[in-house]
Every structure is written in C-alpha cells, then in structure tokens.
Structure 1
Amino acid sequence: MTAEDETRATVQTSDAYLSEFFGQGGGALSYVDPARASGTAVAHRCVMLISELLASVPLHIYRRGERGQRDRAADHPAYSVLHDMPNPMHTAFDLRQSLIASILTHGNAYAEIERNGRGQVTGLHLIDPGTVTVERLRSGRLRYTVTGSPSKVLLQDEVLHIRYRLARDGVMGQSPIQIGRETFNLALSQNDAASKQAAKGFRPEGAVVFAQSINPNQKADVLDKLRQKIERNDTTSGVLVLDGGADWKPFAFSSKDAEFLESRKLTALDICRIYGVPPSAAGITDNATYSNIGEESRALVQRCLAPMARRIEQTMNAALLTEEGRKLFFIEHDLAGLLRGDMAARYAAYRIGRDGGWLSANEIRRLENLPEIEGGDDYLTPLNMATSGKQEGV
C-alpha cells in the first residue's frame, strides 16, 4: 500500500468491538454513564488524585549522554510544549491533567499534534474523546475522524492517543468504568437509594392492617389521610391515631438493619481497587494509622502512578519524537519528589551517599532544589576502605 492510499477521506466503518468498548456486552446492568460514575465521591477523588499528582510532577525531555548520563534538553522544540504551554489556552498542567482524567474515565485520551514546517512538535490541542471515531486502514495505520463544527480527519502522526487497557482489537483503550461496571452500577444504585430516603425524610413505609374487610372508598380515604399526615406536611407530628381495629405494620428496613452503610463502604473500597488507589489516599481512613498511611503513600506512587507514568511516557516518545530523535532524546516523568521521605530520613540517606563516596555535595543540593556551591562536585573517599585484593600484606 502506497503513501497516497492513506487519505483523509471519511469512510463507513463498522467496529465489531464497539459495543464491547462501551460496555454493552450483555445484561441489564452492562452500560454505565461515565459522567455519573466518575461523579461519585470516591471515583472522583481517585481520578483527581491520579491526574493531579501526575500532572504536577516534572515531565522533561532528556538527552542521552555517551556514558549513559542524562541531561535536560531544554533546547528541544517540544520541551516548552510539555513543560510550560502546549497551546495558548492551556498550561502544561491543564493539558496533562485533562488527558489523564480522560484515560481514567473514557479509557482513551486524544490531543492533536501541531508541527512546524520542519516537522517539529510546537503544540498540543485537547480533543473531546466523545467526538472521535478511530479507523484502522489496510496499511495497519490509524485514521481519526473528529466530529464537530467543522469536522476533520486526522492521520496517525497528527494525534497523540493514550489508552488505558487495550481492547481485543488492539486499537482502542477500555474504560476502567466499563471494566468494573457492576461495581459502579452498585455505587450509583446505592446513591439513588440514599437520595430517595433523604428526600422522604427517612419516613418508613408500611401497611395499615384492618381486622375486618373494608370497601375501596374506605381504603382510599385511609391512604389519603396517611399521606396528609406523613408526606404532605413535614411539620406534622409523627404520631398516628388509627381506629376501627387498624394496625400499622412497617415493612421497610432501616439503614442499620440492611447494613446499608457498611455496604456503601465496601463499594467505595472496590472503586479504590479498580483504580489502584490506597483507601487512605482517597479519604477512607477507617483503618488508617500514622505508619500505614506513609506506606500507602509510597504504594500509591509505586503501584498506581508509576505504571500510568510509563504508559504516558512511551506513548509520547512514539508520537512526539521521530525514530532518529528517540535514539538521542526521551521523555520521562520525575517521580523522585513523590518518593522522598521526611527531612530526617532524607538527610540520613544523603549522609550515607556522601560518606560512601557516590554522592557529591552539589548532587545533594540539586535534589533539595538548592544552588550549587564552589567545590561541591568533589567526592569523598572513605579512609578505611580500599579496592578488594590490594590491601597491604595481601
């Protein structure tokens, strides 16, 4: 297939995995509205926590050195796009946070790549994932149709496409909300039930039982009086006076009897598991202690943020750097700041590195965002250590 065959003309497509991508594989509870699901308190906190933390850490373009060292390539044309302003409307934080939130909500995130006449990246522009249709061409490459006013067709080299978990077609990303749709459906149902109870003022439902049969008119009269007493006037006393041998039989379970609150807590924990966020980081502190909160903070970086960061880095390296450029440059997050301990722990670690001879004073000062000092590039050599096999008398 020649390059001329890869055109921007729109074509009719039929994606066999489209229904699976949207979570409509079967069952009445298959589809979950991403907007509603991501609006639940725990899901919103998980999405914002991951997206804001990753968007706040430095994302640099590095230049590989001959001996494996790395230097920030601040002179690279795409450096300011990722570090400062990707376009006149958004900051780098805005764009990166929106992309990650889109991944965690819809499973896919898109940005249009703007290039200059030399093919260098000079801007990134967000694209609403709900307006994008992806087509696989016979060449194996992708074409993106963006609906809107006006609609446009973009080729693979013009789109930054970050996916969550690949679907079976290898093209689209699967939404975590649709993957865990049963959990989110349960959470939404529980929210609806709680809202209905609150709207009714938690008034119990039940039946009025008469010892003898009554006619339909009497039943309607009894129901009308009960509604006037219980539902229509919130200031009315809750005491009921029933005559004619009538007896009130409540049949609604209270929240405590149905363990409703405990069930909502378990659902919140399940949502944290879907996103890989420790409960304490999402605000669930029932079993939190001072020690395990610190461990969970490190687990958040190592088990949740680090894989997401690597997913974004590799996609950006492939989309924003040329094949020749990837031999010299690479894009990477700096997660070191999130893994740093408290001041006492950091300074103790610096002392070990300084006394061991593999950290200089200026390297330590750079880690602490302090200016370099004269003579700070020298390394110490411990007097009581020597190369193995070269001690005196050996």
Structure 2
Amino acid sequence: MGIGQRVAAWLAPERAVARAEEAKSWAPAGGTLFLAGGGAGEESWRERSYEALARGGFMRNPVVHRCVAMIAEAASSAPLLIYRGAEEVAGHPILALLRRPNPTEDGAGFLQTLCGHLLLSGNAFVQAVRPDGRDEALHLLRPDRVRVIAAADGWPEGYEYRAGRRVLRLPAEEPGGGRGPVLHVRLFHPLDDGTGLSPLVAAQGALDLHNAAARWNTALLENSARPSGALVFKPAEGGNLSPEQFDRLKAELEAGYSGAARAGRPMLLEGGLDWKAMALSPRDMDFMEAKNGAARDIALAFGVPPMLLGIPGDATYSNFQEANRAFHRQTVMPLMRRLAAALGGWLAERGGEPELRLAFDEDRLDGLAAERDALWTRVGAADFLGEDEKREAVGYGPRQAA
C-alpha cells in the first residue's frame, strides 16, 4: 500500500464542501460557473496525490516542511525587475501587479505559495482576472482542484477548477487569440505530457521510512521506552499461573511500568518469571542512522544540502557558508529563473508587450553576498577595464550622462 493509500485510510477521505470564500464566483475572469454532480471523472480526482503528499509530507514531516519553506522563502526574497532588451523599465504595471497580486496577498506570500504548490504537486496554476481589458489580479488555484482538458491533438484546450460541487471552466487561449487566463507551470514528468512530477514523489520511500521512525519512537516512549516482550513463567515443578495470579501480574505491569513517565523503571520479578524481548532494540535496528539516511534522501530530492537542515553524517561541504551558496546556486536560482520567465512571458504577452523580460535582482540574494563581494573586488581592481565595462561585468548598464 502506497503513502497515498495509507494517508487516505488514516484520514477517511470524505472531502468536505469547500468554504464559501473558496467557492467565490470567478465570472470576471471569463469562465463559466455551474454546479456539477458526480460523474465519470470522479475516479481521476480520487487518484490525485497532492492532498496525500501535503498531509503526509509538508504537514507531518519536519524535513519536508523545512525543505519546502527554505526554497519558497529564498525564491521570494529577491526583488523582481522588468527589462526591455538590456534596459531596465522602472515602475511598470506588471511589477505593481506582482507586488500586490490580489487584495488578500502580497508579492512575497504569493510567490511562496506558488513555490509550495510546485514543489508538493509538480504543478502550479495562476489565474489572471481581467475585468476591464487588463490584468488586475492574480489568483493561485490549488493544483488538486484543477484538471487539464486536452484537445484531440493532445494539447490543452482548457482548465477545470473544482471547489466542492462548483466548477469553473477557463479556456487555454483567449477568444481572439493570445495567452489565456491560466498559467500552468510544471516540473518535468517523464511519463505524463500534461502534468508535472513532484520531487516528493521520488522520495516517497524515504518519507515513509522517516514518518514510520517517528511513529515508532513515539510508540516506544508510550510503552515504557523499551521494546515489546513477554513475561515467561518457568516454575521449578511445572504448572501454570492461576487466573488470580495472572490478573494480579497484569494489573501490576500496567500500573507500575507503562507510560513514558515510568520509562526505565527496573522490573521486580518473582520466582519463575523471566523477561524475554520479542522485538529488535533501537541499536539492533540502527534506528538513528536509518532515520537520518531517510532525511538525507528527502533533502536530496528537494535539492537542499543536509548540512543546512542539521542532519548529521553529511560531509559534502566543508562549511555552512559553502553549503548555503550551493543551495542558492543549484536550487533557488534555477527555480527563480524558471518562474520569472514563465510569469514574465505570460503577463507580457497578455499585456501586448512580448518584448518585455522579467528577471530577479541577484545582487539582493543574501546567500550569494560573499560571491558578489569577491566579484566586485576583482572587477574594481581591473585597471584595464573602463567604468562602463566594469558596470557591464557586474550586471549593470552604462552610467547615464548627466
């Protein structure tokens, strides 16, 4: 039984009807709102694993929670910039929209949620609301509530967003042509042309092991902090315990030796009684190493150096600063470039300015401050470069004439 089935069994997956604010009308975005009952598509909705991964991973596993939070917070920390060619455009409406995507979210919170959806499900969906001819609000659609509608040629022709029994259908393209009101960002999936693959899917085995280790440790503490076993009666002349003796012995064990508060209490055994362990001890199981190994596998799937999570046994990087730099270079920056290109290209085309390019200010990433300082020092000491050449070398345009 996979993690999705186990979590579904734990939670008895009866999905409640969405709250009123989640089922708000999306008519301004150009969709059609109607009520929908059960149908042939219900099986595909039950097969989605986003809810299972979110509950069993992000909501219950500290390693997954910290990995997703670290990546999302770092990816939303650098300010966004708009360029027309090589020239920066200040005060563009797209920047204002991304700083305040909708009345209930700021730009950093919007990007963090977008990254969370992408990392946990492999997919992220953004809806643009355009009441008067230009995009005025951006809303994130929960991935497990969205179904991609494929046309006969296999390409998406629309999207369905389901909240309880209410369904909104949105086109993939505007009626007159051009980008539609939904942006779909997805991670690579080798076996699916329409949806992405979450990093957590690749780490499901490690997630199961880490969660099972935590549950085992909790159960161990609740059961006197010792492995399960049996009291064996070995009388010198044969025979068994009487019913009264058995009940008294059972009551004494439950009253005097069960519970975390009585962990480690020595057991006093009468003549003929012997304790026989019936489970492997933590040392025999190599408990902590198995748990730490599972944590390292989870961190590896997300691209977070285990050293940054405080997981022992990782000697890949010589110090914390080097690990933090590798995290930003190899995980955060590729994700930020991907999101900037997707969001910028989509909003620019919808605004009729396809030549615009959205980027982020790398100089404002705290994790790369040491690299930038070293670069500026080297470039500043290069006497053979002119002032404009030095500015270009560190990512700035030529100085404007006064």
Pairwise TM-score range, normalised by the shorter structure: 0.7 to 0.9
Number of the residue aligned with 2:55: 35
Residue 106 of structure 2: which of 65, 85, 91 is its match?
91
Q: Which structure would you say has the larger Rg?
A: 1
**Cα-to-partner distance string for 1:308-327 (whole Å, 9 max, x where unaligned):** 12321332244322189564
Q: What is the match of residue 239 of structure 1? A: 266
Query: Shift of the alpha carbon at 1:246?
Result: 1.4
Q: CA, structure 1 residues 15+331, in 2 after alignment: closer, same or farther (shift >3 Å)?
A: farther
Listed one character per residue, the Cα deviations across residues 359-391 of structure 1 (whole Å, up to 9, x for unaligned) are 459949x989xxxxxx9769xxxxxxxxxxxxx
Cα distance in structure 2, aligned partners of 1:57 and 1:376: 23
Structure 2 partner of 1:214: 240
Normalising by structure 2, we get a TM-score of 0.75
Q: Look up the match of 1:321.
A: 348
Q: Match of 2:185, SS?
A: strand
Could you give the per-residue CA deviations for residues 243-283 of structure 1, whole angstroms, max 9, x where no partner exists? 24111223343323321111111111111110011112223
Distance in 2 (alpha carbons) for counterparts of 1:19 and 1:89: 30
TM-score w.r.t. the length of structure 1 is: 0.76
> Match of 2:124, SS?
strand
- Match for 1:136: what amino acid? A
Aligned: 1:177 with 2:200: yes
Q: Are the aligned partners of 2:224 and 2:259 in contact in 1 as well (CA < 8 Å)?
A: no
SS of 2:319's partner is helix
What residue ranges of structure 2 are gaps of 5+ in the alignment? 1-29, 173-179
2:157 aligned with 1:137, yes or no?
no
1:55 aligns with 2:76: yes
1:216/1:107 Cα in 2 relative to 1: closer, same or farther (>3 Å)? farther
Equivalenced residue count is: 352
State how far apart, in whole Å, the 2-side matches of 1:158 and 1:236 are: 60
Residues in 2 aligned to 1:110 and 1:79: alpha-carbon distance in whole angstroms: 19
Amino-acid identity (%): 26
Alignment check: 8 A CA contact 2:200 2:302 kept = no
Structure 1 pair 33–214 and aligned structure 2 pair: CA distance change class (3 A): farther
Residues in 2 aligned to 1:232 and 1:184: alpha-carbon distance in whole angstroms: 28
- Determine helix, strand or coil for the equivalent of 1:152: strand
**Does the 8 A contact of 2:170 with 2:182 survive in 1?**
yes
2:284 partner SS: coil
Code of the residue aligned with 2:384 in structure 1: it is G
The corresponding residue for 2:89 is 72
**What does residue 264 of structure 1 align with?**
291
Task: Show the counterpart of 1:205.
Answer: 228
Give the CA deviation at 1:73. Answer: 4.8
Q: Is the 8 A contact 1:32 1:177 kept in 2?
A: no
Instruction: Give the CA RMSD over aligned residues.
Output: 3.6
How has the CA–CA distance of structure 1 residues 325 and 198 changed in structure 2, closer, same or farther, with 3 Å as cutoff?
farther
Alignment of 1:146-161 (within 5 A): 146-148=161-163, 150-156=166-172, 157-161=180-184
Q: 1:259 to 1:268 in 2, by over 3 A?
A: same
- For residue 340 of structure 1, what is the amino acid of its counterpart? A
Other-structure match for 1:345 = 374
Matched, 1:46 2:67: yes
What displacement does 1:231 show? 1.6
Contact 1:277-1:304 within 8 A present in 2 as well = yes
